[in-house]
Each structure stands twice: as structure tokens, then as C-alpha cells.
Amino acid sequence: MFLTFLIFLAIVVTSFFTYCFIPFKAVQITQNETLFLESPKLYVKDYPHFTYRRILLSNVKVPRIDYKTPQVFGDEKYIDACMFPRFNFEEHAKRSRVYMLHFKDTFCLSNGVFIKEGNFYAISHNCKKMVHQLYLNFEKPKSYQINFKRYHSIISLTHVNFETFGHWLSEIYPTFFLIPEEIRKTSYVLCFSIKQFHIDGYEIAGIPKERILDGNALKDLSSMPKQSGNNLKRLFNVVSNSVCSFLSKSSSTPSKSSVDAYTVFAENVYTFQLQTCMHMSAISIAFAKYQIKKILKLSESPPNRYIIFDRKDSRKIIEINQIFEKLKISNPEISFEIRSENKGNLQAQIRFWNSVKFVFGSHSSAIFGCLFMQPGSTVAVVEFRQCFHSLKYLAIASGHYFIHIREPQMLTSPFHVDVDFYVKFIEKAMSLK
């Protein structure tokens, strides 16, 4: 009798710990290229609990980068309290670790969300502070029917700002070069949506256009038959605010105009732990610069172009032309150029930035092209007063001098500046050595 009681107690305790500490396994059935989910959950904060291989990629050989110390120009009113972390960047880079994750037999959505054992897993994160609450505050959906396509091997690298040139170029693209060549050559790249710079960039890395899957263009292939309408719509609305329109809004019947995420099933899925907005890898950046220089056979002639970047829409410096004219008068030996956009395809842009010695401008996605400037060049930027260190990190990790102003007047619209102060700032930036 006592033995029976002990067995019963063991069963109860085991069940309790299983329920509390092992993620819930929902019902998952596939039939005729359709995935049926019953009572799935959504996990965000942690990596999927299902089995995967974690492959260390930070031991690749990269050329040594001479990391400069970022500088700030101006008195206290131009400097916010959120400065760049005060650490030795070289030591920080040495300690960095980049892991590629390898999942087996996994469903992938074109926004970086995965489906495994009947549950949703969002490895890709938004940079908004409330993201985890947004993910988790939803009504429990009861069931889904999701159409999908099968592939042998998929590379999934994306996050909420995948469509923005600066975010993609600094946070996602460099990491792509760390993927072993044999995987890149045999895999399809799953994207939420693609623009021409994505195509250009992945072709440089050895991925032809035919193997780039555009989730936006292929979304009709994942349109969903009947499902639990209100609950599903609630989940779609919440997650679409957090991760690139997750599965998106849906009605009880399929629609050609639906914006459902494209879903695939792959025997092998490769992704990275670095998929958070504004999360960069110094090792990835250094290795990508080295690889791109070798692939495109970039010129090693010393850079000689001085660029004043005139952003035309939001965050435009209204007095940019006055600044330009004063610089020409006080520095007649330098041929300054004004530009307002990156011209040509990505290869042409890379070759242009390779010839740039100095760039000044207000924070802009286009200036992230400084990734391709030769080490030892200078990046001078007008930044928001709030914490915003992405361009700074990219410039330092690329081996450049970096100096910035924290401008109280700059928000998201054109703003006025003190012309003489800005001329002094640019001349200070050009003197950095």
C-alpha cells in the first residue's frame, strides 16, 4: 500500500514539474501541405526549447581592427546622459561570441517566427520597450490552418526593421557572411519582404535572386482557410505591432488581399541569436568588410572624398548650404561634395563609400554606408539627444574615427542649427587622427 502511495506521489510530482517548467506542447498535424495547430502558445523571451545545434562562428580569422574612441563635440547642452558604454572596445570585440542556430524539421514564417511542436517561437525581437508585453497579452487562439511550402534548407535572418537599409546593413547583412559557404550555396533565404538592396547584397554573398524568398510577394501561398476568427484576429493584431506583421489580420474566410506571413517547412533551418533591432556584432562587421573587399576587388587607393550629406526629408539640416559654403571658404584645399542619397545598386554604393575619407550629416539610414569606408576614415554625425548608438557602434567596429553632436533641436522634421558651431564641429572632426 505504501509503495502504491509512493508511485502515485512520484507521478503527481513529475506531472507538476512537467507542467510548470516544460513548455506546453500543442497539437500539430500536417496534411496535404497544410499545418493544423490546436491551442498553440507564443514564446518570446527564451530560445525554443526544442533540440537545436549551436555552432560557434566567432573563431573566424578577421584582419585586426584599430578601434578608435568615440568622441562628443559641444558643451553639456549638446550631450545627453546616455553616453556610449565606457568599455575597451577592442576587449569587447575579442569577447564577442556569434552563434549560428541549426533547427531540424521546423516551420518558419517570413518574419523570423518559428513553429515547432505546435507552438510559436519569436526569436526575432523588436526594439520597442513594451515588446514582450505586447507578445504575451493576447487571447488564446484555438486553432489554425496554415498552408506552407517545403524546402530542404532555409536561412532565416530578419527582424522588425528588415526593410530599412541602415538596420539591415548593420545588423543582419554582416552576420550573413559568417554562414559557412556550403550552407549558403544550398539554402534559400527567407525574407519578410525584399527590396533591391537585399537582392544586390545577397548576390554579393553568393545567393542568386532565384533563391531569395520574398514573403510579401508569396503571401497568398500562405493564406489561411477557416479558423477561429476573433481570437486569431486578436493575436494577429497584437503580434503585427511587434514583429513585422506576424501572421497579420485575418477573417474567417481566406482572402486574396490578406497579408499573412509566408510559411515554409524545412528539414534544416539556420538562424542566429543576433536578431534584435540595434544589436550588432563587431566580429561580423570586420569579417564582412574583409569578405566584401575580396569579392568585389575594391581599390586600395587612399580615400579622398569629403561628403556633406544633405538629408532631404525628416531630420534635414535647414542651413546645410550655408555650412557647405563656409567650409569651402575656410578649407579651400578640400573639395567638399554635397550628396542627398546613395546612387546606383549596392555594388556601386560600396565602391563609392570605399573612396570616402570623411562624411558629415544628420542621422540617416544612407550614412550606414560608412560600413564600406576604409578603416581610419572619419564619420561625423548629428544625433538625437536620446540614446541612439547604432551609427556609433558601426563606425567604431569598422575602424573609423567617430564624433557626434547630440542635437536638442533634431526630432523627425527639418531643424535649424548654429552655422558657425557646426562648421567648427566639422573642422574638429576632420582633424581627428
Judged against a pLDDT cut of 50, whether residue 333 lies above it is answered with yes
180/255 same-domain check? yes
Residue type, 46: D
Are 326 and 213 in the same domain?
no
CB 375 within 8 A of CB 401: no
Rounded-to-integer distance, Cα 76 and Cα 54, Å: 45
Q: Are residues 231 and 335 in the same domain?
A: no
Tell me: do 29 and 164 sit in the same domain. Answer: yes
> What integer pLDDT is reported at residue 71 of this predicted model?
84
Q: Three cell numbers at 59? A: 573563431
Residue 17 lies in a domain: no
Domain count, the chain: 2
Residue with cell 553639456: 76
Cβ atoms 303, 354 nearer than 8 A = yes
Considering the entire predicted model, what is its pTM?
0.80
**Residue 68 C-alpha from the chain's centroid:** 24
Contacts by 26-33, CB closer than 8 A, 24 or more apart: 26/117, 26/118, 26/119, 27/118, 28/115, 28/117, 28/118, 30/265, 33/147, 33/148, 33/149, 33/150
CATH number at residue 306: 3.40.50
Q: Residue 129 — pLDDT band, cuts 50, 70, 90?
A: very low
pLDDT digits (tens, 9 = 90+) for 54-97: 888 766 777 788 888 888 887 544 454 555 555 577 777 777 77
Instruction: With a cut of 90, say whether residue 256 has pLDDT above it.
Output: no
- Which range of residues forms the domain containing residue 213? 22-58+97-283
pLDDT digits (tens, 9 = 90+) for 113-127: 788 888 888 765 544
What does the pLDDT read at residue 94? 74
Is the predicted pLDDT of residue 246 greater than 70, yes or no?
A: no
Q: Is the pLDDT of residue 268 over 90?
A: yes
Q: Are residues 132 and 255 in the same domain?
A: yes
